Amino acid sequence: MGFFDKILEKIGIKKKEEKEIGGEAKGGMKAKDDVASKPQVGTNAPARTVPQQAGVINPAPVSVVDVVAKLEGLAKGKDLNWKVSIVDLLKLLELDSSREAREELAKELNAPADVTGDSARLNTWLHKEVLRKIAANGGNIPKELLD
């Protein structure tokens, strides 16, 4: 499981038992179960075939998680500013916030080379990118946090 997957899991978007894309747990279908590709016995209709593409899955609908409410609830009584700090966001989610962990996350999210050498720029980029990716995965993130 990647570092970003751990973030999604902590905020309730991705569950531990979810399998990688393409597995049956993600809505994948087996070609042999496709009724449309089998001739229908006892009908006068001609047999139809539906071409199957290897690796094609029917994506499961994405449920929207109110990330702000979830994080605000976790932040009660804690002095963490998760809305602007990647370190505080990771601490709030009880994840490793060390420089090494953030560098690992940056690699996973394909951080541009111009930000990876500067810790402050990397932290700012990481915070925005993590929020963008959370939103892309079904998290309800307000526009003002994404700008």
pLDDT (tens place) for every residue of the chain, 147 residues total:
799 999 999 999 876 554 444 444 444 444 444 444 343 444 444 444 444 455 544 444 445 778 999 999 999 999 999 999 999 999 999 999 999 999 999 999 999 999 998 999 999 999 999 999 999 999 999 999 888
- Type of residue found at 68: V
User: Between helices 3-11 and 119-136, what is the axis angle to 10°?
Assistant: 60
d(CA 117, CA 71): 29
Rg (CA), the chain: 21
Q: What is the pTM of this model?
A: 0.67
Residue 7 CB partners (closer than 8 Å, separation 6+): 90, 93, 95, 130, 134
Residue 70 CB partners (closer than 8 Å, separation 6+): 11, 12
User: Between helices 99-108 and 119-136, what is the axis angle to 10°?
Assistant: 50
